[in-house]
Amino acid sequence: MLVRLSLIPVVAALLAGCGGASPPAPGDAPATTTAARDGAPARKPPALCGPLRVRVTGRVSAPGATELSGLAASPDQPGVLWSHNDSGDRARVFALRRDGSLVASLDVPGAQAVDWEDLAIGPDPGSDARHALYLADIGDNDADRASVDVYRVPEPRAAAGATTTAPAVRLALRYPDGPHDAETLLVDPRTGELVIVTKQLSGESRVMVAAQPPAGGTGATPLTMRLAGQVSFGLGGLATAGDVSADGRIVVVRTYTGFLLWRKTPAASLAATLLRRPSCRGRTSFPDERQGEALALDAHGLSFWTVPEGSQPAIRQYAAALR
């Protein structure tokens, strides 16, 4: 099933990709969203489908965190945001506070960083930890990688002085129809299903699916994913990040200029959710971020945080505006 939405101007998307840090935004106006009408019975829309208020909660102060391209909110450690750099850095993650201050920078033994593009939190079948970080080494600008990797690591404690995580488990993945560039990884918090949404200039992104890989990982043998279908972000709507709320009820995929939001039911898979008409689509102040490739939902999908690339980037929180 192909989801059709209004076109997002390709010029805006390309201008948004120029790179660099964004300025402070104390006067950011409320964002707007448009609810989808598909003939379904009327029900209260998700909170993020209404007017949104954006505020800068801080700036990332870690000197090495200059090309952040993944973000996830810890469900077990209040106030902790996990992030990592794009290509060019070593295999490491940052534990950040919401004001941008650094808690710890942790190397990830057993992982390689070719082109890390997203980060998700999901179940960990291989340890006693409640949750794991899923580090998506899925960037492929030249579309020439025969396979890509997702590294699964038990979520570490974010503590000052911590320097390493537990060893990573490698989940090697292959697309069924050849290489693709991608920057969006989603993990179902209940089943561990993995979904990669490809990044296409046409705006017609493929939805690739893998069931939760084995606890011991795949090693060097890639697991072939399943092509579930396509979702349309409109011409120039480049999917750059996404997240699933910890309660599993809200799914968001962002572009450089806006986002799509779906309400997920417990019985529906992530892939099936993405192939339905979204609950709403939002246009935000994302263009102020320029190279914005990160988004993290809170536990109940009532707000989300973003951070762009660049030196001392601003962390922004988007939440329902008070009426």
Q: How far apart are CA 208 and CA 197, in angstroms?
A: 6
Q: How far apart are CA 140 and CA 228, in angstroms?
A: 20
With cut-offs at 50, 70 and 90, classify the pLDDT of residue 321: confident
Residue 320 has pLDDT above 90, yes or no: no
What mean pLDDT comes out for the span 175-193? Answer: 97
DSSP-based three-state secondary structure for 272: helix
pLDDT of residue 34: 54
CATH class, range 2-320: mainly beta
CA-wise closest residue to 12 among 286, 314, 306, 206: 286
**Secondary element (H or E) of residue 79:** none
pLDDT of residue 322: 66
- Sign of the alpha-carbon torsion through 274, 278, 284, 287: positive
Angle at 16 between CA 70 and CA 37, to 5 degrees: 80
Cα–Cα separations (whole angstroms), residue 265 to 39, 113, 246, 262? 18, 34, 13, 10
Q: What are the residue ranges spanned by the domains of the chain?
A: 2-320
Residue 7's CB is within 10 A of a number of other CB atoms, namely 12
In sequence order, which ranges of 51-203 are alpha helices (DSSP H)? Answer: none
Q: How far apart are CA 321 and CA 323, in angstroms?
A: 6
Q: What is the pTM of this model?
A: 0.87
Q: Which amino acid appears at position 91 of this protein?
A: A
Q: Which amino acid appears at position 164 of this protein?
A: T
DSSP annotation of 56:
E
DSSP-based three-state secondary structure for 49: helix
pLDDT of residue 28: 40
Residue 284 has pLDDT above 90, yes or no: no
DSSP annotation of 39:
S
pLDDT in tens, 17-70: 323 333 333 334 445 555 544 444 557 899 999 999 999 999 998 989 999 999
